[in-house]
Chain A
């Protein structure tokens, strides 16, 4: 054994070998860019077929009508990034909408009707998160149970009646700020804030760590249980915010759970690039994916395809995205 070993002085310049901006962008946001490209391509093609597609009216419909899904998907993305899943969010939104609407009709101050769903959402998900983190029941089982409880509870309490006579000041989703519809503004603002928070805050980064390798996260000193509860609580807050947009977009609230809403929300998160195995993905992707679904739905109408095919098209698209992602991964390894 020679005592002195010369180190290969590979790159003397400190911080060298930084890949270019676009390379980095594509490496970090590959899936998001694919979804974005799909949205843009769809807009171009459909507008060529039918120019009315790009009218202000239609754009408002596309973005505003689905903003609540995007908002719910932000929280869902965080949950999935942490390595969990929530199949009860659709039922939760149904319950919260009914609570919110009932309070508004009963004459409580409007701000209470808006605040209540957020707080209740956080409380409900604190219970779910607690069962997942401390009782160690898999999140899919807990939320499956929560789904039944909330779905059943909602219908048995309300009997499926509709809430009408909502006070006009309650219907915030139908208002505009600076000429832009409120849901669109809320969706964009929340997405940007959540994305920054996930990328740059210690909390956000720890979620990636937990989802990537929970044991290692524990060994690194991250309080995994507390973070797990916290991420469910935050997800509950987003569900509450989504509820406000959902409950105020029409003059009535149907006191039932929107069918399959939880699957739509999960799908948005996953198509946006969140790995179902946890540890990777962004909230920007989930919002873009929501926009993509909405665009497809609207596009089918504008190219005269029966809306009944919408789900089939979305299903095919999801499948194509997933397969492409798998093939891309296989190519990388």
Chain B
């Protein structure tokens, strides 16, 4: 009953995606071309990586608002470690990712050790991490990275954008973990009933700590990819990306109260958002007008699946 209604939401969403794709390809010849689609994949990778980790976090009933700031902090640190401290670039990127992961770990520690509600804890670290990024960069941007570094964000492997491989791998691994392993089971159990999970001997705290750490790691990797894609670092990178990621996750059928959600749903949600953005801009809708539609789609999709569910139970 439960997973059936879940399936229904995803089916509904997938159908919506197909309809959108068809409509958009009629709107513009350039939409349904391989190069355009691959390029869209490039653009959605950063949000996608974050949304995958966010799916886990939200499925436990939590939330992580600080991911955009972690992305920004990682981006800045990559530049600073490389240019100002003089580390070799690969090492600088790894060190920056390590710091980003640590930032996620700190979120988890605050949430699990001190019982701070995730919304508040990550609201605070959103300001803190962004503040650190701003303070460290002092509004200076770093440019002039060596050419090989751009392979990550602008290059291709076997004709497909490099980062899209990363996203695909992450999505596959994450959906296997969520669907078939005991970690995934633990995530759903915590999201459905944290108390009962603890009473069943599941390691609730450790799981949550790991998830927020993973969320930091995903945001950090997204940060490095972001730098490589746009060839520069600025401290405001990733501002607001948390809301984009959460939108994709919730649109994908993950319950904001936890206990429900799949990676497949998140990826469909993500594709839908990206297709709308791209298709509408190709159809001549002014850039940010597309964001508008995404908001409407989010509300309508949840409304529709709410209605479905109610008609199912009554």
B239 and A260: CB pair below 8 A? yes
Q: Contacts A149-B296, A330-B115 known; list 11 others, CB within 8 Å.
A: A136-B306, A138-B256, A260-B240, A276-B117, A306-B138, A308-B134, A309-B134, A315-B124, A315-B129, A318-B127, A327-B114
Closest 9 CB pairs of A and B: A315-B128, A312-B131, A148-B295, A152-B291, A311-B131, A156-B289, A152-B292, A315-B127, A149-B295
A144 and B246: CB pair below 8 A? yes
Contacts of A327 in B (CB 8 A): 114
Which of B128, B256, B290 is A140 in contact with, Cβ under 8 Å?
Answer: B256
Contacts of A138 in B (CB 8 A): 256-257
B135 and A145: CB pair below 8 A? no
Interface residues of A in 284-322 (CB under 8 A from B): 306, 308-316, 318-319, 322
Per-position 1/0 for B277-314, Cβ under 8 A of A:
00000000111111111111011001100100000000
B299 and A323: CB pair below 8 A? no
Contacts of B120 in A (CB 8 A): 270, 276, 322
B295 and A309: CB pair below 8 A? no
Which of B129, B139, B298 is A141 in contact with, Cβ under 8 Å?
Answer: B298
B289 to chain A, nearest CB (A): 3
Contacts of B117 in A (CB 8 A): 276-277
Query: How many pairs of residues, A versus B, come closer than 8 Å at their CB atoms?
Result: 157
Task: Assess whether A266 is interfacial by the CB under 8 Å rule.
Answer: yes
Report the bound CA distance from A316 to B110 in whole Å. Answer: 13
Supposing A135-B303, A155-B288, A156-B285 touch, asked if A316 and B250 sit within 8 A by C-beta, the answer is no
B286 and A144: CB pair below 8 A? no
B110 and A144: CB pair below 8 A? no
Which of B124, B131, B257, B285 is A313 in contact with, Cβ under 8 Å?
Answer: B131
Contacts of B293 in A (CB 8 A): 152
Supposing A135-B306, A306-B138 touch, asked if A322 and B130 sit within 8 A by C-beta, the answer is no
Interface residues of B in 110-138 (CB under 8 A from A): 110, 114-117, 119-121, 123-132, 134-135, 137-138
Task: Assess whether A137 is interfacial by the CB under 8 Å rule.
Answer: yes
Supposing A312-B134, A315-B125, A315-B128 touch, asked if A147 and B295 sit within 8 A by C-beta, the answer is yes
A152 and B288: CB pair below 8 A? yes
What's the interface size class on B, roughly? 35 or more
Which of B116, B138, B294 is A148 in contact with, Cβ under 8 Å?
Answer: B294
Contacts of A145 in B (CB 8 A): 247, 295-296, 298-299, 302
Contacts of A151 in B (CB 8 A): 288, 291-292, 295
Which of A270, A276, A326 is B115 in contact with, Cβ under 8 Å?
Answer: A326
Interface residues of A in 115-167 (CB under 8 A from B): 131, 135-138, 140-142, 144-156, 159
Interface residues of A in 21-49 (CB under 8 A from B): none
Contacts of B286 in A (CB 8 A): 155-156, 159
Contacts of B126 in A (CB 8 A): 263, 315
A16 to chain B, nearest CB (A): 36
B125 and A308: CB pair below 8 A? no
Report the bound CA distance from A144 to B123 in whole Å. Answer: 15
Supposing A149-B295, A311-B130 touch, asked if A319 and B110 sit within 8 A by C-beta, the answer is yes
Supposing A144-B243, A323-B110, A326-B114 touch, asked if A152 and B290 sit within 8 A by C-beta, the answer is yes
Per-position 1/0 for A266-286, Cβ under 8 A of B:
110010000011000000000
Residue of A nearest to B127 (CB): A315
Contacts of B247 in A (CB 8 A): 144-145, 148
B123 and A318: CB pair below 8 A? yes
**11 A-B pairs, CB-CB below 8 angstroms?**
A131-B303, A135-B303, A145-B298, A148-B247, A150-B292, A151-B291, A259-B236, A260-B239, A315-B131, A315-B132, A316-B131
Main secondary structure of the interface of A (DSSP, over half): helix
Residue of B nearest to A257 (CB): B240
A34 to chain B, nearest CB (A): 16
Task: Assess whether A231 is interfacial by the CB under 8 Å rule.
Answer: no
> Which of A135, A146, A148 has its CB near the most chain B CB atoms (within 10 A)?
A148
Residue of A nearest to B246 (CB): A144
A169 to chain B, nearest CB (A): 32
Residue of A nearest to B303 (CB): A135
Task: Assess whether A87 is interfacial by the CB under 8 Å rule.
Answer: yes
Report the bound CA distance from A313 to B131 in whole Å. Answer: 7
Which of B121, B256, B296, B302 is A322 in contact with, Cβ under 8 Å?
Answer: B121
Report the bound CA distance from A266 to B124 in whole Å. Answer: 11
A314 and B125: CB pair below 8 A? no
Residue of B nearest to A270 (CB): B120
Per-position 1/0 for B236-250, Cβ under 8 A of A:
100110010011001
Report the bound CA distance from A259 to B134 in whole Å. Answer: 14
> Which of B114, B130, B243, B299 has its CB near the most chain A CB atoms (within 10 A)?
B299
Supposing A263-B126, A316-B128, A323-B114 touch, asked if A137 and B303 sit within 8 A by C-beta, the answer is yes
Contacts of A144 in B (CB 8 A): 243, 246-247, 250, 295, 298
Report the bound CA distance from A101 to B233 in whole Å. Answer: 35
A77 to chain B, nearest CB (A): 14
Report the bound CA distance from A259 to B241 in whole Å. Answer: 12
B152 to chain A, nearest CB (A): 27
A308 and B302: CB pair below 8 A? no
Report the bound CA distance from A276 to B119 in whole Å. Answer: 8
A326 and B116: CB pair below 8 A? yes
B292 and A322: CB pair below 8 A? no
Report the bound CA distance from A315 to B294 in whole Å. Answer: 30
Contacts of B292 in A (CB 8 A): 148-153, 156
